[in-house]
Amino acid sequence: MKLAGKDLLGMKELSEEEIRYILYQAETMKYILKQNAKKTPHLQGKTMVTLFYENSTRTRMSFELASKYMSANAANITASGSSVNKGETLIDTAKTLDDMGTDIIVIRHQMSGAPHLIAKHVKASVINAGDGMNEHPTQSLLDLFTIKEKLGRLEGLKVAIVGDIAHSRVARSNIYALNKLGSTVAVGGPSTLLPKDIETMGVRAYKNVEEAITDADVVMCLRLQKERQQSGLLPSMREYAQFFGINEKRLALAKKDALVMHPGPVNRGVELCTEVMDLPRSVIDEQVTNGVAVRMAVLNILAKRSN
Ligand code: CP
């Protein structure tokens, strides 16, 4: 099987079959990751460049490690160290990388739609590593992989996504994906951080976290996107933590062994208290590990289409 398009731009564009295919491939990659010698020839001769206009630890490093484990040539560019600082446009930067023979461009950009824009102008496959408030598809894929690994299925689950829904590309990607895979999604958070039309995406929306997480199989907390907030949406971090942060008392409303997830980086003591982060059912560390496996799978699938 191949993906229909040359790029991975969002979960909105992927079919259920394509999502399941990537998750299936990621199981093999997870097996490879568990070996002492993590080196395979899958991407020999291929070149991946990461082009990050926003900060990242997990996404950028896991793409870089994934490509290296599979023997690709990997390079990275940040906006501050590139000719973007001399006024070069995004399209011209992407075309420059294309002309150098890059097979896969992984881009993170503050503008929603930036990966879609460059994908139209380059031969290389483009992977969206987070575009503004739009989507973060590989984060969603690793979240789905982690849920399936821990609970054995995705169908028939209640997944509560709580916190800063309005600014979260992780929430949007997961809502698209979980709806396609048969989970029910509830979102909860302060009314100022809930888009007015969020229920048109096929979710139940609550202006508190308690109702959203009641009887949930998975409690997915989101980072407060301080860099995207207008002022006046929240009284203070302390009050956010008090009224919306996930502590043990609130978590008790979810199912007994409900998974606790967070895409990271965590504002400790704001979205999640440390005691909850340290519970055995908190799978935040596994999410990070699975991010490498899922990105190996995505790189392999996209690289194969250009063979
Ligand atoms: N979850 C996530 O995208 O983390 P980074 O910003 O560290 O890549």
Q: What is the mean pLDDT of the chain?
A: 95
CB-count burial class (<10 Å; 0-12, 13-18, 19+) for 275? exposed
My answer on whether omega of the bond before 263 falls inside 30° of 0, hence cis, is no
Question: For residue 59, which atom of ligand 1 is closest to its CA?
Answer: 8
Mean pLDDT, residues 60-80 taken together: 95
CB-count burial class (<10 Å; 0-12, 13-18, 19+) for 208? middle
Helix (H) or strand (E) holding 104: strand 104-109
| pLDDT attached to residue 83 | 85
Question: Percent of the chain scored above 90 by pLDDT?
Answer: 88
125 lines ligand 1 (CB under 6 A): no
Mutate to test the pocket of ligand 1, among 53, 54, 56 (most ligand atoms within 8 A of CB): 56
Note the pLDDT tens digit of each residue in 242-284.
999 999 999 999 999 999 999 999 999 999 999 999 999 999 9
Residue 37 above 70 pLDDT? yes
**CA 20, CA 169: separation in Å to the nearest integer?**
21
pLDDT band at 16 (very low <50, low <70, confident <90, very high): very high
58 lines ligand 1 (CB under 6 A): yes
225 lines ligand 1 (CB under 6 A): no
Residue 237 above 90 pLDDT? no
| pLDDT attached to residue 230 | 66
Residues marked as catalytic:
58-59, 86, 108, 136
pLDDT band at 307 (very low <50, low <70, confident <90, very high): low
Helix (H, G, I), strand (E, B) or coil at 47: strand
Residue 306 above 80 pLDDT? no
Task: Give the predicted TM-score (pTM) of the model.
Answer: 0.96
Question: Which long-range CB contacts under 8 A does 64-68 form with residues at least 24 apart?
Answer: 65/292, 66/29, 66/292, 66/295, 66/296, 66/299, 67/43, 67/299
Q: Which amino acid is at 63?
A: F
Note the pLDDT tens digit of each residue in 106-152.
999 999 999 999 999 999 999 999 999 999 999 999 999 999 999 99
| pLDDT attached to residue 226 | 72
pLDDT band at 231 (very low <50, low <70, confident <90, very high): low
Phi-psi region of 130 (alpha: psi -120 to 50; beta: other; left: phi over 0): left
